[in-house]
C-alpha cells in the first residue's frame, strides 16, 4: 500500500479533548452545555448511533436529554417536542435522528428547530449562512469533520482541485460550500459529480482531493483515482462476507486497496470519517452553549413558531 492512513479516531480524540476544555470553562461560569436528542421509533441502526452520541456527550461533560417517542407519533406531537426543546434554556442544541418514519415530514421538523440550536447544521438558515461565508454558522457535522481531517493532516487545499462525488443535502452540497470558503482548509476549486455524471472516471481523476459520499459499496475503483490524490471516503456500507463471524463486513464507497495504491493519503472504513461526525456535533453543541451564554448576558432573542 502506497497511501498513508488518515486516522479519524486520533483526530476525533483531539477534537473531543478540545471540547472538554471548553466545557470545563463553561462549567466554571455555571453553565453545562445541553443537547436534546429525539429518536423516533425503534430503528436498530439509529438506536446504536444515538447511543454513541449520548456516551460521547457524557464523556465531554455535555448534558443529554434523550426523548424517544413511539414511531406512531403524529407530526403535531413531534413539533410540540421540538418547541419544548427550543424553549428549554438548559438545552443548547437539538438533534432529531434521521431518517424519520415515512408519515412524518422531515423538512418541517428540521425547519422547526431554532437556528441557534441547530447543531446538526441542517436548517436552511444555517446552510444559507455557510454559503454566505458566515463563520459563526453551524456546519453539518460530517462535512465539517471531513474538512478537519484534511486540515489536521496538513494537506494544502488553497487552489487545489477538490472533486466531490455525491450531492446530498447532508454531505455533498454542504461539503462543496465549505471547500469554497475563503479560509484555511478551503479556498479550493470544487467540482461536484454524482451518479448521473457522464465519464465519471475522467472527472474523479481531476481531483487532487477526492471526497466520496454516494452510499454505493466500492463504487470508486483505483483507476478512477488520480495518482497522489488525497482520498476521503465518507461511505459506510455493509456487504455480505460469510468468512466473518457476523456474516458481513463494512466497506466504503471507494475500493480501498486499489485506491491506496494510487493515493498519497486515504481514510479507512471504519475509523476514518465516522468518528469525526460525533466529535463535530459535540463541538457545535459547546459553541451553541457559549453563544447562548453570551446572548443571555445581553438579550436572548425570542424563539419564533
| Cβ neighbours around 11 below 10 Å, total | 20
Cell of 121: 447544521
Element housing 193 (H / E): strand 189-193
Active site residue 120: yes
Residue 305 has pLDDT above 70, yes or no: no
The one catalytic residue among 118, 120, 233, 253: 120
Report CA dihedral (31, 140, 159, 166) to the nearest 10 degrees.
170
Closest Cα partner for 143 from 115, 116, 117, 162? 162
Residue 171 has pLDDT above 60, yes or no: yes
Domain(s) of CATH 3.40.50.720: residues in the chain:
141-276
Query: pLDDT for 52-94, tens place per residue?
Result: 989 999 999 999 999 999 999 999 999 999 999 999 999 999 9
Distances (CA, A) of 131 to 125, 127, 149, 173, 266: 10, 6, 21, 10, 27
Closest Cα partner for 211 from 282, 273, 283? 273
For residue 296, the model assigns a pLDDT of 60
Active site residue 2: no
Q: Is 65 helix (H, G, I), strand (E, B) or coil?
A: strand
Active site residue 300: no
Residues 6 or more apart whose Cβ sits within 8 Å of residue 8:
145, 149, 267, 268, 271, 272, 273, 274, 275, 276
Distance CA(33)–CA(93), nearest Å, equals 8
Which residue is listed with cell 492512513? 5
Element housing 24 (H / E): helix 8-28
Cell of 97: 435522528
Please give the class, per CATH, of domain 30-117: alpha beta
Residue 274 has pLDDT above 60, yes or no: yes
Q: How many CA atoms are closer than 13 Å to the CA of 252, on its beta-carbon side? A: 26
What letter does residue 301 receive in the DSSP assignment?
P
Query: Angle CA(89)–CA(25)–CA(151) in degrees, nearest 5?
Result: 100
Query: pLDDT for 91-141, tens place per residue?
Result: 999 999 988 999 999 999 999 999 999 999 999 999 999 999 998 899 999
CATH 3.40.50.720 fits 141-276, yes or no: yes
Domain(s) of CATH 3.40.50.10860: residues in the chain:
30-117
Closest Cα partner for 123 from 138, 103, 134, 133? 138
Closest Cα partner for 84 from 60, 114, 64? 114
The one catalytic residue among 53, 181, 253, 283: 53
The one catalytic residue among 97, 127, 147, 181: 97
Query: pLDDT for 215-260, tens place per residue?
Result: 999 999 999 999 999 999 999 998 888 888 888 889 999 999 999 9
Residue 304 has pLDDT above 70, yes or no: no
For residue 42, the model assigns a pLDDT of 84
Mean pLDDT is lowest, of 148-157, 278-287, 291-300, for: 291-300
Residue 204 has pLDDT above 60, yes or no: yes
Using a 10 angstrom Cβ sphere, with 0-12 exposed, 13-18 middle and 19 or more buried, the burial of residue 206 is middle
For residue 242, the model assigns a pLDDT of 87
Amino acid at each position: 500500500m502506497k497511501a498513508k492512513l488518515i486516522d479519524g479516531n486520533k483526530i476525533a480524540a483531539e477534537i473531543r479533548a478540545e471540547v472538554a476544555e471548553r466545557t470545563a470553562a463553561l462549567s466554571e461560569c455555571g453553565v453545562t452545555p445541553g443537547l436534546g436528542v429525539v429518536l423516533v421509533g425503534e430503528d436498530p441502526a439509529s438506536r446504536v448511533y444515538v447511543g454513541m452520541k449520548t456516551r460521547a456527550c457524557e464523556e465531554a461533560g455535555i448534558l443529554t436529554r434523550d426523548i424517544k417517542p413511539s414511531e406512531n407519533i403524529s407530526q403535531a406531537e413531534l413539533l410540540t417536542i421540538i418547541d419544548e426543546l427550543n424553549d428549554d434554556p438548559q438545552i443548547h442544541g437539538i438533534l432529531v435522528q434521521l431518517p424519520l418514519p415515512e408519515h412524518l415530514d422531515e423538512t418541517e421538523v428540521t425547519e422547526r428547530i431554532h437556528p441557534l440550536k441547530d447543531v446538526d447544521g441542517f436548517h436552511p438558515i444555517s446552510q444559507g449562512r455557510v454559503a454566505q461565508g458566515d463563520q459563526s454558522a453551524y456546519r453539518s457535522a460530517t462535512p465539517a469533520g471531513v474538512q478537519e481531517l484534511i486540515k489536521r493532516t496538513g494537506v494544502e487545499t488553497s487552489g487545489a482541485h477538490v472533486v466531490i462525488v455525491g450531492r446530498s443535502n447532508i454531505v455533498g452540497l454542504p461539503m462543496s460550500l465549505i471547500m469554497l470558503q475563503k479560509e484555511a482548509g478551503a479556498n479550493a476549486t470544487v467540482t461536484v459529480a454524482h451518479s448521473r455524471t457522464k465519464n465519471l472516471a475522467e472527472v474523479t481523476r481531476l481531483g487532487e482531493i477526492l471526497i466520496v459520499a454516494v452510499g454505493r459499496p466500492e463504487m470508486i475503483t483505483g483507476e478512477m483515482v488520480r495518482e497522489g490524490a488525497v482520498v476521503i471516503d465518507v461511505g459506510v456500507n455493509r456487504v455480505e462476507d460469510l468468512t466473518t463471524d457476523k456474516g458481513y463486513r463494512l466497506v466504503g464507497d471507494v475500493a480501498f486497496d486499489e485506491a491506496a495504491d494510487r493515493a498519497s493519503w486515504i481514510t479507512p472504513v471504519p475509523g476514518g470519517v465516522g468518528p469525526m461526525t460525533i466529535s463535530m456535533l459535540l463541538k457545535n453543541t459547546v459553541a451553541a452553549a457559549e453563544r447562548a451564554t453570551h446572548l443571555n448576558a445581553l438579550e436572548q432573542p425570542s424563539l419564533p413558531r
